[in-house]
């Protein structure tokens, strides 16, 4: 899903040159966190040093400092560095301050109670869907999502629900950065198929994932919008096809869309009119 040569989306991760050794190290450390946040599989020291345009010895020193504070961790088997739970907690604290996660939680519980399936909350970050909260299904066989995990935008319910309401320029940027990989045989792998799906999502107000992210799994999702009508996040209900057959997707889609619209209203947002 990610290209090893891809640069971080957003502000470029520079060398962090600034006056004063301590402030320079701080900026470099923050830039390393930004680089790693965009790479869920982690990066080797040499890759981080190359992207930061720093000497490996300097990069190693910064990585050790961040690791010592619990912001990043190193996988013992592959030696790759990746963000750790402390960084996720800081990001989640920002979302809590916006009342996004706190506002959505009772709606997730309500969706799980009504559907019997797991309900999720996710956002777009660096061109990928990132899951922030979940209420688990009480069923023995259920969908469990690790918080902070990522999924491709074009091959997940939450991702497609967000993509459908983004400006065309942003959709093109995400598509260029990540491509349209076939995660399963059902994944949308062409621009034409993706555009048709986006139009249908805007019309219906919710997205369907029909075994596009995982075989045997169905999902429906709808976007939460901010005051400008932009997609702020998305909520979803997901579970095995045995309990969510094709005939049930419309019923659950309307349920999720109504919940997303209620959260949007509570946050002072608005869902824009459907676009062709």
Residue-wise pLDDT tens digits, 47-67? 999 999 999 999 999 999 998
Q: Region 107-123: what's the mean pLDDT? A: 96
Give the model's pLDDT for residue 8: 33
At 274, is the pLDDT very low, low, confident or very high (cuts 50, 70, 90)?
low
Residue 66 belongs to some domain of the structure: yes
Distance CA 165, CA 273 (A): 10
Domain holding 37, by residue range, is 21-84
State how many domains the chain has: 2
Residue 74 and residue 107 share a domain: no
Residue 236 and residue 103 share a domain: yes
At 195, is the pLDDT very low, low, confident or very high (cuts 50, 70, 90)?
very high
Give the model's pLDDT for residue 97: 54
Residue 16 belongs to some domain of the structure: no
Give the model's pLDDT for residue 231: 95
Tell me the CATH number at 185: 3.30.450.40
Across the chain, mean pLDDT equals 85
pTM (global) more than 0.75: no
The encoded tokens of residue 259 equal 């919940």
């Amino acid at each position: 899903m990610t290209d090893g040569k891809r640069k971080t989306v957003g502000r470029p991760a520079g060398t962090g040159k600034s006056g004063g050794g301590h402030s320079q190290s701080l900026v470099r450390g923050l830039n390393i966190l930004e680089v790693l946040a965009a790479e869920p599989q982690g990066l080797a020291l040499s890759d981080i040093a190359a992207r930061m345009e720093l000497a490996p010895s300097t990069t190693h020193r910064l990585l050790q400092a961040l690791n010592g504070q619990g912001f990043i961790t190193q996988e013992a088997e592959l030696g790759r560095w990746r963000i750790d739970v402390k960084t996720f907690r800081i990001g989640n604290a920002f979302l809590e301050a916006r009342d996004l996660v706190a506002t959505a939680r009772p709606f997730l519980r309500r969706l799980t109670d009504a559907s019997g399936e797991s309900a999720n909350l996710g956002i777009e970050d660096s061109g990928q869907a990132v899951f922030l909260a979940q209420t688990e299904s009480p069923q023995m066989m259920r969908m469990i999502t690790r918080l902070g995990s990522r999924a491709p935008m074009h091959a997940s319910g939450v991702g497609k629900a967000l993509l459908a309401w983004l400006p065309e320029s942003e959709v093109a940027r995400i598509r260029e950065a990540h491509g349209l990989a076939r995660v399963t045989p059902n994944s949308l792998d062409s621009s034409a198929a993706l555009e048709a799906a986006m139009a249908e999502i805007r019309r219906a107000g919710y997205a369907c994932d029909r075994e596009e992210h995982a075989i045997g799994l169905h999902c429906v999702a709808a976007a939460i919008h901010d005051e400008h009508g932009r997609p702020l996040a998305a909520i979803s209900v997901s579970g095995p096809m045995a309990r969510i057959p094709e005939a049930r997707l419309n019923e659950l889609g309307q349920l999720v869309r109504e919940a997303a619209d209620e959260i949007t209203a509570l946050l002072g947002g608005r869902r824009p009119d459907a676009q062709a």
